[in-house]
Structure 1
Amino acid sequence: MDKNVIVEKINDFLIDEFEVEQEDIAPEANLKETLELDSLDFVDLVVAVESNFGVKLVGEDFVNVSTLQDFYDLIENKISQTA
């Protein structure tokens, strides 16, 4: 899957499902501070990723994820591992 498609899908469900403002979405945006995602949002985010990309995420996957770019990279890596 193309990286641009991954980014677009993630951005779309952040806006639609998590009510993140379009102007807050940037690769350097911090998921917790800038996008204001809490632990319950992360659970919903895992479900959204599984349904949109067909990959499973576990808690350890988020250890090095703090920015939206980190999250994009995580999903891209997970998809490439299953391909």
Structure 2
Amino acid sequence: MTKEEIYTELKSVLVKSFMVNEEDISLDANLYEDLDFDSIDAIDLAAKIHNVTGKQLKPEQFKGVRTIGDAVNVIDELLRSA
């Protein structure tokens, strides 16, 4: 998957599973400040990432994720570490 494909898939998950408006999603969007995520949402998102990638995210990998771009980079690293 390319980063663009990861971003597209992540956007789809955010819209379908978290009812985020697609217009609010950008690489710079902050999950907590712009999209009103809380820690439970972050855990749910990590689970959705596992469903899409088939790989388990370690909590420390997701800890530094603040923006959509951060999430794309973490997923990209996860897929490359196969």
Match of 2:50 in 1: 50
Q: What is the letter of the counterpart of residue 17 of structure 2?
A: E
- Mapping 1:66-77, distance limit 5 Å: 66-77=66-77
Which residue matches 1:2?
A: 2
Identity rate of aligned residues, in percent? 33
Unaligned runs of 5+ in 2: none
Shift of 1:58: 1.9
- Distance in 1 separating the partners of 2:47 and 2:66: 18
Task: Return the TM-score normalized by structure 1.
Answer: 0.92
1:64 match? 64
Paired residue for 1:25? 25
CA distance in 1, matches of 2:47, 2:64: 19
Structure 1: gaps spanning 5 or more residues: none
| 55-64 or 22-31: bigger deviation | 55-64
Give structure 1 regions of 4+ aligned residues with deviation exceeding 4 angstroms: none
Instruction: Measure, in 1, the Cα distance between the counterparts of 2:66 and 2:45.
Output: 14
Structure 1 residue 62, shift from structure 2 partner: 2.1
Equivalenced residue count is 82
**What amino acid is the match of 2:12?**
D
Q: Structure 2 length as normaliser, TM-score? A: 0.93
